[in-house]
Amino acid sequence: MRLNKYLAECGVCSRRKADELIAEGRVGVNGKKVTEQGVDVGEKDIVYVDGKKVVRVTHYEYIMFNKPKGCVTTCSDEKGRKTVYDYLDTSRRLVPVGRLDYDSEGLLLFTDDGELTFRLTHPSSAVPKTYIVKIEGSIQESDLAILRKGATYEGVKYSRCKVKLLGEENGLSRLEVVITEGKNREIRNMFAAVEKNVVFLKRTAIGDLRLGGLGRGCSRELNEFEVAYLKSL
């Protein structure tokens, strides 16, 4: 098995992140540092990350978390801000499936199933993610058409998406947005391309898996049917 896949299946990180760890010289096999991609490992090989032995996971954990605004999707923050791990009640090494930025909130998944993380976050998967967005002022149908066809902002082209205006109130427009790409700050930049400022952003669903009534800062384990659904994506 390829080393990056092995690390993912052991719940260390995603395959993509494993490639980074290998390139940084943080991975060892049988006492020797590995820096080349494409190395294979077998059942008798002993793998280390940062000097710690990697133990294969036999039972994975899957958690849904309602991320509140005002925390970062990382283990630690150089600015001393709260992280999502300040809210999670688990002793296991879980990684987020994708990210939400500091000012965004809503559905985040955490797991030590690196293979599922890889599949759900890889661009080719095109898993739909649904958001509720509030912007300042009103928005014209012509602007919505630009967003649906794929906006370009500061030289970055964003994919087609679904956008539906839900209503206007107190000087704000409320919309539902469904994207399949997931680039950094994608929705905020899409609206910036049509000169609209996002003041509220909440992810409510990944595919058909919905946040439901889970409170801000709260988490719960996924049931077997939800896990099977995610794997079917």
Note whether 48 and 152 are within 8 A (CB): no
Helix (H) or strand (E) holding 136: strand 129-136
> Could you confirm whether 101 is annotated as catalytic?
yes
Q: What is the C-alpha to C-alpha distance for residues 4 and 210, in angstroms, rounded to an integer? A: 31
Where would I find the H helices in 71-209?
Answer: 114-121, 141-149, 186-193
Specify the DSSP class assigned to residue 125: G
Q: What is the C-alpha to C-alpha distance for residues 43 and 80, in angstroms, rounded to an integer? A: 41
Note whether 30 and 45 are within 8 A (CB): yes
Write down the catalytic residue from 101, 103, 143, 208.
101
Catalytic residues: 101
